Amino acid sequence: MRIAWPDRTRRPSAGRVLAVVSILPALIVAGWLLAALPLLLAGRNQPVPALVLGAVVIGLLCRFAVRGPLKVVEATGRQVGAVVAVAVGSGVFNAITHTEQLIVRRDPATYAQYAVWLARHGSLPITPQVEAFGGPDPALLFDSIGFYPADGAVVPQFMPGPPLLFAAGDWLGGMLLTPAVLGALAVLTLAGVVGRLAGGRWAPVAALAFAVSLPVLYTSRTTFSEIPSLVLLFGGLALVHDALAREGRSRGWAAALGGLVFGLAVLVRIDGLRDVLPVLAFAGALIAWRRLGRPQGALGPPLLAGLAAGAGLGLLAAYVLARPYLSYLSKSLNPLLAICAAVLLLTLAGTLAAPRLARIRLPGWLPDVGAGLVVLVVAGLAVRPWLQTVTRVATTPEDRLTAEFIRQTQKNNGLPVDGTRLYSELSLHWVSWYVGIPVIVLATLAAAVLVRRLLRNGSPAEWLLPLAVIGWTTVTTLLRPEITPDHPWAARRLVPVVIPGMILLAVWGLEWVRTRAPMRGYGRWIGVVGALLILVPPTITSIGTAFTPVERGERAAVEAMCAKIPPNASVLIVERVTANRFTQVVRGMCDRPTARVLVEAGKNTAKEEDVRRLIDRVRAVGRVPVVLAAEAVQVAPYGPKTQVMALVSRQDERSLVDAPNGTWKFAITVWMAVA
């Protein structure tokens, strides 16, 4: 008698491979954050415990994610191979052209210096070593741009999620290459969602359109938070989609994991609170369905529990590690918290009233009106520049700095000078620069069709959450980008949801057009032409800057500067711009006690009497006083002058009303005097 043993060597299908590899990025990011955050809160985020615990947590998340039958994406081996090739090619290309933003001029260097401190010290807040300067002094300041003063210490700006990821890259020998790896993972994540919702044939097209889009290239080359946020948000969509398609108890685990991944987006960006509000409402809808006896309703409680756990960790980290940052954002954060509370109350009310609401019959005209509203919203955003000019009168020091920056940028762009302009009315035009008008048209068509179907008969149900997340975040982001409006800088706002969401909807819309009965005879040509319309416009926009690395040479310049500062030095930075750029760089990367000397408003350098007093105090505690500034004349009064940095590099263009198509030259000099 011959026993037929199960064939354990059979290769998994291509669709299963795509289903698995497209959720792995979110599980890896979430697992690392879950392991590293408690260690950071305990002041013990060191390489060995973090890497060991991270591997264990990631392994557990992966085990729970693939536990039980997993919905297989309809895809062929060639399609999956193409997706992987695009992801790998994207990662390699962005690694080759990566930036080295270490000198604190804008957010990427703040994230990088935050990560450097975590990688080397494993704890927060940043200790300023006041004793190395002879104790406190009214002219002695330890904060700088991106690093806030807090109870005698220094607290970095931003949420700790991205720096925890970049710190891991630093331990593994490549912090500045970590964004390229995350960008490749984002390509896989989006392709997986596209395969699930639009079909495997469109996954490579969507992956390539996403990978070549300028904002994605921009944020995949340097230390930003947008790409990790995208991985978590779209990874959450994939996990919840899989949970809805499963049977048995494993679906609850998948829903809880999806909620957890969504919630951890708050740990990456505080704006994640806004992005996950539709998930809260969707979990409430599932709980309401459970009260009505629908099988999918069983996913509501685990989804809600996972979301609460992830978002709760993010809010805890914000309160403990980033409180000054929250205070800085209070004008926009407090309304967001109020909106969150309102959504929570409405969700609770809707859940409680589910039996009564189920008896309400929607009017027959509502699906058509819903579809029409989608078109009207997009049309309104398109004509907004002719109807509105968005301005803001500066009332805070930060606003005044932004207004002055906008005035300088307007002069460089040859535009009328008006520092109150925010250019937010152009937000949909920004999208057209980076993905093309055909994508916007196809995405609008798809959203209108899907809204009409959902309002008419509640199907396709798998689109309810993706459409809610994409629609809500896209509209709110385009209405209020809340960012300095120069490009490609402002384009980062479009990365977490707007651009990938538009591409996802566009390929679904193209498939819908291709399969319509009157079009079936031309389906192949429609597919080819449509794919070109999706791919060519973003490629044309990106080609001007895609092959030009920016901010190069900063690592070597900083390392050379550090080598010239005496090992037992206490560094005093006496010039305003140099202090903003280098206080944390010298403290974190050179490992020297560093402070800036108070500069009065309207001045560029500190008072000489203040500097000399601090020099004497440093000398009195047995350390070497070192003075840094931007020009030789600024350090000459304190000792023999030495130039320790003469960096010449290129930076991103700052364009206000057109897509960026080039780069600008910039130079940084630092002079030192050993007093």
According to DSSP, the β-strands at 569-573 and 140-141 are unpaired
Per-residue model confidence (pLDDT) at position 7: 46
- Average of pLDDT values for 315-320? 94
Question: Would you call the peptide bond into 125 cis, given omega within 30 degrees of 0 as the criterion?
Answer: yes
Asked whether the predicted pLDDT for residue 598 surpasses 70, the reply is yes
CA–CA distance, 61 with 26 (Å, rounded to integer): 10
Residue 69 has a CB neighbour count (10 Å cut-off) of: 13
- Average of pLDDT values for 77-85? 94
How far is the first Cα of the chain from the last one, in angstroms, to the nearest whole number? 93
- Average of pLDDT values for 643-667? 94
Residues 617/660, Cβ–Cβ less than 8 Å: no
According to DSSP, the β-strands at 594-597 and 569-573 are parallel
Name the amino acid, one letter, at 581: R
Per-residue model confidence (pLDDT) at position 519: 67
- Average of pLDDT values for 179-202? 96
Asked whether the predicted pLDDT for residue 220 surpasses 80, the reply is yes
Asked whether the predicted pLDDT for residue 434 surpasses 90, the reply is yes
CA–CA distance, 493 with 496 (Å, rounded to integer): 7
Pick 336 or 184 by higher pLDDT: 184
According to DSSP, the β-strands at 594-597 and 153-156 are unpaired
- Average of pLDDT values for 624-633? 96
Per-residue model confidence (pLDDT) at position 517: 60
Condensed to tens digits (0 to 9), the pLDDT of residues 113-139 reads 999 999 999 999 999 999 999 999 999
pLDDT-based confidence at residue 544 (cuts at 50, 70, 90): confident
Task: Look at the block and give the residue holding tokens 């590099």.
Answer: 649
According to DSSP, the β-strands at 624-629 and 569-573 are parallel
pLDDT-based confidence at residue 6 (cuts at 50, 70, 90): very low
What contacts 79, CB < 8 A, 6 or more positions away?
A: 14, 18, 195, 200, 201, 203, 204
CA–CA distance, 401 with 388 (Å, rounded to integer): 24
Q: Pick the range with the lowest mean pLDDT from 159-173, 286-300, 531-545.
A: 286-300
The C-alpha angle with vertex 95 and arms to 90 and 100, in degrees rounded to 5, equals 135
Please, which residues bridge with residue 627 across strands? Answer: 572, 673
pLDDT-based confidence at residue 163 (cuts at 50, 70, 90): very high
The C-alpha angle with vertex 275 and arms to 391 and 169, in degrees rounded to 5, equals 100
CA–CA distance, 402 with 419 (Å, rounded to integer): 8
Torsion angle of the four alpha carbons 616, 618, 623, 627, in this order, in degrees rounded to the nearest 10:
-90
Q: Which of 199, 577, 656, 629 is nearest to 675 (CA)?
A: 629
Residues 115/166, Cβ–Cβ less than 8 Å: yes
Residues 262/306, Cβ–Cβ less than 8 Å: yes
Q: What is the pTM of this model?
A: 0.94
According to DSSP, the β-strands at 147-150 and 624-629 are unpaired
> Phi, psi (5° rounding) for residue 376?
-65, -40
> How far is residue 126 from each of residues 133, 322, 458, measured CA to CA in Å?
16, 12, 52
What contacts 279, CB < 8 A, 6 or more positions away?
A: 236, 240, 259, 262, 303, 307, 465, 469
Per-residue model confidence (pLDDT) at position 65: 87
CA–CA distance, 442 with 427 (Å, rounded to integer): 18
What contacts 3, CB < 8 A, 6 or more positions away?
A: none
Q: Where are the beta strands (DSSP E) in 560-632?
A: 569-573, 594-597, 624-629
Residues 45/36, Cβ–Cβ less than 8 Å: yes
What element of type H or E holds 664?
strand 663-674
Per-residue model confidence (pLDDT) at position 525: 85
For residues 378-398, one letter each, b for 16 or more C-beta atoms within 10 angstroms of the residue's C-beta and e for the rest, the string is beebbebbeeeebeeeeeeee
Asked whether the predicted pLDDT for residue 54 surpasses 60, the reply is yes
Q: Which of 568, 597, 585, 572 is nearest to 645 (CA)?
A: 585
% the chain with pLDDT above 90 = 76
Give the torsion sign (CA, 127, 131, 132, 136).
Answer: positive
Asked whether the predicted pLDDT for residue 655 surpasses 80, the reply is yes
Per-residue model confidence (pLDDT) at position 10: 54
pLDDT-based confidence at residue 294 (cuts at 50, 70, 90): confident
- Average of pLDDT values for 415-434? 94
What mean pLDDT value characterizes the chain? 92
Per-residue model confidence (pLDDT) at position 332: 83
Condensed to tens digits (0 to 9), the pLDDT of residues 463-519 reads 999 999 999 999 999 999 989 999 999 999 999 999 999 999 999 999 999 888 666
CA–CA distance, 492 with 499 (Å, rounded to integer): 10
Residues 556/589, Cβ–Cβ less than 8 Å: no
